[in-house]
Amino acid sequence: MAKIEDLLTWALSPTISAILVTLIFSLTLPVLIHYYLYKRAVAKELPTFLLLGPSGGGKTALLTLLATGAASPTHISQAPQTAICQLPSTTRASEDQYRSENDTSSRSQPSILLLDTPGHGKLRHHAFSSLTSPAAIKGLLFVVDSAVLSSAAGLTEAAEYPYDILLLLQKRHTQGKTSKGPQAIPVLLVANKQDVFTSLPAGLVKSKLEEELGKVRLTRSRGLLDSGIGMEDDTDEEGNWLGEYGAKTFRFSQMREHGVEIDVVGGSMNGEGEDPGNVHECWSWIGANI
């Protein structure tokens, strides 16, 4: 008992040793608490790429191919799925672009987070909410089935989704609240299923989609007003017109002024040859945009 009383008396007395002990204690305690709390290290935020597109395009198969190297059989997605993929050794990331080829220092390839969303009409809100959420999306992979685009009905059906997405990106840019504006999101249009006989090559996919998007924007501008007309802040025509206002034709280059860069590549899951699937170009685009 006496010892404890002595100890307490010493601790509260203005001796140098007591002050030193207090100082050390009060400085190291928060540090220790910090280490304890952050022991389960929060993973560094990985760059996120979003996979979207009309139903049946091959998004989930592409996800499995990029993540595991082999495409699994898939069915219609009902829910979004994430996967962590690492860039293959053959692809250069953008941060390595100034390294020499013969640089022998060991470095690990960066990994990315791929987010696959359902393409069915009723479930597209997952993709829209991911785009508008605060999480930073580094790029968009828009996967379309090139074989379906060769028929007129398939083309019409496949065009309304890219229209909505591009309009959302444009509005995000033009209606930003701050002067800086949100980070630009580049878009890669993957013309999938190139191995199918009736598929169109990537260049033709691009021109057909541009044409169709031009028609869609024309009819949307002339269409009926929405019932929720009082809800939105602006209903001006210019805001709802994709690309250059008043232009006769739509080109993907018109989206560049809104910071949306669109590239088109072809891809296929069941490729012959040494690599399963033909996704080199996808990887190089991802690597360039990390």
Partner 1 sequence: MLDAFEILTTSGIVLWRRHYAPLSSNVIDSLVRDVFIEEKQKSGGAENSAPSYKKDRYTLRWTSAKDVGLVFVAVYRSLLHLSWVENLLAAVRGLFTKAYGQELRKPHTLKVDTAQWNPMFDALVNRLDTGSTRRQSDTLDSEGPTELTPPSSSAGDDAHEPPPVPAPLFKKPAIPAKKGVVVDDTTSTDATPVPTPDTSRPATPGHAASHILTAKGGPGKASRRSRKGQTFNTSAPASSGDESSAGRTLKGSGKNATKGKRRWDIDGMAVEGDDDGVLDYSAPATPGPDTADRELDVSDVNTSQMGSHTGKGQFVLKDLDDEVDAILASSKQQSTSTTTTNGEIATGSGLLNTATSRLTSLFRNVVGGKTLSKSDLQQPLQQMQTHLLEKNVAREAAERLCQSVEINLLDQKTADFTSIDATIRDSMTKALTRMLTPTSSLDLLRDVSSTTSGPGARPYVISIVGVNGVGKSTNLSKIAFFLLQNRFRVLVVAGDTFRCGAVEQLRVHVRNLSALSQREGVGKVELFEKGYGKDAATVARDAVAFATNRDGHAQVQGQGMLYDVVLIDTAGRRHNDTRLMSSLTKFGQLANPDKVFMVGEALVGTDSVAQARNFAKEFVDTKGKLRNNGVGMDGFIISKCDTVGDMVGTLVSMVHATGIPVVFLGVGQHYGDLRGLNVGWAVDKLMK
Residues that bind partner 1 in the complex, under the rule CB under 8 A: 60, 63-64, 67-68, 72-84, 116, 118, 120-123, 125, 152, 156-157, 160, 215-216, 219-220, 222-229, 231
Pairwise CA distance, residues 109 & 284, whole Å:
13
Q: Which is nearer to partner 1, 97 or 227 (CB)?
A: 227
Residue 251: alpha-carbon gap to chain centroid? 22
Q: In whole angstroms, how close is the CB of 229 to partner 1 at the nearest point?
A: 7
Pairwise CA distance, residues 163 & 136, whole Å:
22
Q: Which is nearer to partner 1, 1 or 231 (CB)?
A: 231
State the CB neighbour count (10 A cutoff) for residue 75: 6
The H-or-E segment that residue 86 falls in is strand 81-86
51: closest CA among 134, 108, 122, 112? 112
Q: Which is nearer to partner 1, 239 or 259 (CB)?
A: 239
Strand, helix or coil at 100?
A: coil
Pairwise CA distance, residues 4 & 9, whole Å:
8
The DSSP bridge pattern shows strands 81-86 and 137-145 to be: unpaired
Q: In whole angstroms, how close is the CB of 100 to partner 1 at the nearest point?
A: 34
State the CB neighbour count (10 A cutoff) for residue 187: 21
Nearby residues of 253 by Cβ (< 8 Å), 6 or more positions away? none
Q: In whole angstroms, how close is the CB of 280 to partner 1 at the nearest point?
A: 21
Q: In whole angstroms, how close is the CB of 231 to partner 1 at the nearest point?
A: 6
Sheet holding 262-266, edge to edge: 81-86, 111-116, 48-52, 137-145, 187-192, 262-266
Q: In whole angstroms, how close is the CB of 151 to partner 1 at the nearest point?
A: 12
Q: In whole angstroms, how close is the CB of 61 to partner 1 at the nearest point?
A: 9
Q: Which is nearer to partner 1, 155 or 205 (CB)?
A: 155
Q: Which is nearer to partner 1, 68 or 90 (CB)?
A: 68
Q: Which is nearer to partner 1, 126 or 172 (CB)?
A: 126
